[in-house]
Amino acid sequence: MDTTQTSTTRISKMKKDDIYPSKYLKAADLNGEDVTYVISESLVEQVGDDRKLVIYFQDEDKSLVCNPTNYDRIAYFLGDETDNWPGKEVVLYGEMVNFKGKLTEAI
C-alpha cells in the first residue's frame, strides 16, 4: 500500500507574475502610478546573455534593468556619472512603447 500523499493547493485567481516572480521592476509593478524611488546603487551585471546597468533602490526589493532610453532620461537630470546617482530620487512610470514591432508597456 502506497501511503505517499501529495499536497496540492488550488488557487483560482493567479497571474503570471504570481507564478514566475521577477527580481526586476516592470511597468505592471507600478500599477499605473508614477512612483518615486531613491537610488541606492547602480551596477553593471550579467542579465541573460548581456551585461547591463542595473539600478537598485532604497526600500524596494526589485531593481531596474536600465535600457539606453532610461539611462539617457536619468542622466539628463542626474548627470551621466552613475557613481553620483545614489541618494537621488527618480520617478518611474509606465508608457506604451514599440518593442520588436509590438506595442507594449514599459518603464
pLDDT in tens, the chain (107 residues): 555 666 666 666 777 767 777 899 999 999 999 999 999 999 999 999 999 999 999 999 999 999 999 999 999 999 999 999 999 999 999 999 998 999 999 99
The x, y and z cell numbers of residue 78, run together, are 542626474
Spatial distance between the Cα atoms of 62 and 107, rounded to a whole number of angstroms: 13
The Cα angle at residue 88 between residues 35 and 49, in degrees rounded to 5: 75
Give the whole-angstrom CA distance, residue 102 versus residue 107. 15
Could you tell me the pTM of the whole model? 0.81
- Contact call for residues 52 and 60 (beta carbons, < 8 A): no
Nearest in space to 90 (alpha carbons), one of 48, 42, 32: 42
Distance CA 29, CA 9 (A): 25
